């Protein structure tokens, strides 16, 4: 099944726009596993099992595994999700961006090694740095467009003097992703929940693309404003990601149950409420 279809099916099945981010930090593990990087798989698998009927996607962040030499635990985790939550798409947050030949290797890493359904990419190096990922017809790729961090202003808000209308960089990218670059409908955009006005702008420029939206929870973005700005009935959807607020909801042996409660509350806060929208994710 293609990534976009899998995403749509998971949204409907779980009636959810929430993506749980898997950013395992051993220093924040529950007391009985605290500091033990050997428990990364156990921790993430428990979160997956507790939230798999509440989410539209999972988003493991590769840095949290690589930093602890835990790539083998990421492979195990991906296999666990395929086995126990096969209906939930997995977006590998890797933010890769390199020349074509190297991008081919990164694409193999994401899609062959880790079996991800989609990957995040930095589009800074241009179209040929994205193309190798699009050769996997069933997979998706999310391009960083207007990121959730304050430093995103340094580049993404700059105007391009040589392009008609002098769009900001993020606006130019949104147009490319909706148009020329999106040959087979595999692209989406990363837009931070911390900038709802820009989410709205990107939605104008890219009406059909799925948005991966980090920045609610620990970064303080507003769930309802995010959905109002980015989600359109029967058109572009949003995959709203929260990591730390869910993962570290409690520090005792009940951590997975606490994560589930926060995930459920977040999913509920993300329900579309505009008059044009239905309460449930439409089928
Ligand atoms: O613009 C971006 C792009 C990616 N991220 C990633 O999302 C999560 C956010 O974690 P929280 O704990 O929910 O704040 C993390 O993996 C980032 O690398 C982002 O925050 N902003």
> Mind listing the pLDDT tens digit for each residue in 236-252?
999 999 999 999 999 99
User: Crossing angle, helix 196-205 and helix 223-230, to 10 degrees?
Assistant: 20
Q: What is the mean pLDDT of the chain?
A: 96
* CB-based burial label for 161 (10 Å; 0-12, 13-18, 19+): exposed
Q: Where are the domains of the chain?
A: 3-273
CATH number of the structural domain 3-273: 3.20.20.70
| Residue 242 CA, closest ligand 1 atom number | 13
Reply yes or no on whether the pLDDT at 278 is more than 50.
no
pLDDT digits (tens, 9 = 90+) for 49-74: 999 999 999 999 999 999 999 999 99
At residue 282, the pLDDT reads 67
State the CB neighbour count (10 A cutoff) for residue 99: 12
Give the mean pLDDT of 148-161: 97
Q: Which residue has the higher pLDDT, 183 or 119?
A: 119
Alpha helix positions (H), 135-222: 153-156, 169-178, 196-205
**Over pLDDT 90: what percentage of the chain?**
94
At residue 245, the pLDDT reads 98
Element (H or E) spanning 228, and its range? helix 223-230
> Could you tell me the maximum CA-CA distance found in the chain, to the nearest angstrom?
58
**Over pLDDT 70: what percentage of the chain?**
97
Asked whether the beta carbons of 114 and 78 are under 8 A apart, the reply is yes
Give the mean pLDDT of 29-41: 98
Give the mean pLDDT of 161-182: 97
Asked whether the beta carbons of 147 and 156 are under 8 A apart, the reply is yes
At residue 277, the pLDDT reads 47
Torsion of CA 273, 275, 281, 283, to 10 degrees: 180
CA 225 → CA 54, 142, 174, distances in Å? Answer: 20, 21, 20
At residue 279, the pLDDT reads 55
Q: What confidence category does residue 281 fall into, taking pLDDT thresholds of 50, 70 and 90?
A: confident
Residues in the chain, how many?
283
In terms of Cα–Cα distance, which of 142, 148, 145 is closest to 130? Answer: 142
At residue 170, the pLDDT reads 98
Give the mean pLDDT of 265-279: 77
Asked whether the beta carbons of 245 and 258 are under 8 A apart, the reply is no
**Sign of the CA dihedral with 273 first, then 274, 275, and 280 last:** negative
Reply yes or no on whether the pLDDT at 270 is more than 90.
yes
Provide residues with CB under 6 Å of ligand 1.
Answer: 21, 23, 61, 93, 147-148, 190, 192, 214-215, 217-219, 241-244
Q: Which of 95, 139, 197, 233 is catalytic?
A: 95
Report CA(165)–ligand 1 centroid distance (Å). Answer: 31
At residue 171, the pLDDT reads 98
What ipTM goes with this model? 0.99
User: Crossing angle, helix 255-269 and helix 223-230, to 10 degrees?
Assistant: 50
Q: What is the pTM of this model?
A: 0.97
Please confirm, yes or no, whether 233 is among the known catalytic residues.
no
**Under DSSP, is residue 119 helix (H, G, I), strand (E, B) or coil?**
strand
Q: What confidence category does residue 283 fall into, taking pLDDT thresholds of 50, 70 and 90?
A: low
Residue 19, both tokens: 């993506």
At residue 274, the pLDDT reads 57
To which residue do tokens 């570290």 refer? 248
Report CA(214)–ligand 1 centroid distance (Å). Answer: 5
Q: How far is CA 22 from the centre of its chain?
A: 10
At residue 111, the pLDDT reads 98
Reply yes or no on whether the pLDDT at 131 is more than 70.
yes
Residue 180, both tokens: 């020329």
Going by alpha carbons, the residue nearest to atom 6 of ligand 1 is 214
């Amino acid at each position: 099944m293609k990534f976009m279809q899998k995403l749509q099916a998971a949204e409907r099945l779980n009636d959810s726009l929430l993506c749980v981010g898997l950013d395992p930090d051993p220093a924040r593990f529950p007391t009985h596993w605290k500091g033990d990087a050997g428990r990364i798989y156990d921790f993430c698998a428990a979160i997956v099992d507790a939230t798999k009927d509440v989410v539209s996607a999972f988003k493991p962040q590769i840095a949290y595994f690589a930093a602890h030499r835990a790539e083998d635990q990421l492979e195990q985790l991906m296999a666990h999700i395929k086995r126990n939550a096969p209906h939930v798409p997995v977006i590998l947050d890797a933010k890769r961006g390199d020349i074509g030949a190297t991008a081919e290797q990164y694409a193999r890493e994401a899609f062959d090694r880790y079996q991800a359904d989609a990957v995040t990419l930095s589009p800074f190096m241009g179209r040929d740095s994205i193309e190798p990922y699009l050769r996997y017809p069933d997979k998706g790729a999310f391009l960083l467009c207007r990121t959730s961090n304050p430093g995103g202003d340094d580049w993404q808000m700059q105007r391009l003097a040589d392009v008609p209308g002098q769009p900001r960089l993020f606006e130019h990218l949104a147009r490319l992703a909706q148009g020329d670059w999106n040959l087979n409908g595999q692209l989406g955009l990363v837009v931070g929940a911390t900038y709802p006005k820009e989410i709205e702008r990107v939605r104008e420029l890219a009406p059909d693309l799925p948005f991966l939206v980090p920045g609610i929870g620990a970064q303080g973005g507003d769930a309802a404003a995010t959905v109002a700005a980015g989600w359109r009935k029967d058109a572009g959807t949003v995959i709203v990601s929260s990591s730390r607020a869910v993962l570290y909801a409690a520090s005792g042996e009940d951590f997975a149950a606490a994560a589930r409660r926060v995930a459920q509350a977040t999913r509920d806060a993300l329900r579309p409420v505009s008059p044009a929208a239905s309460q449930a994710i439409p089928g």
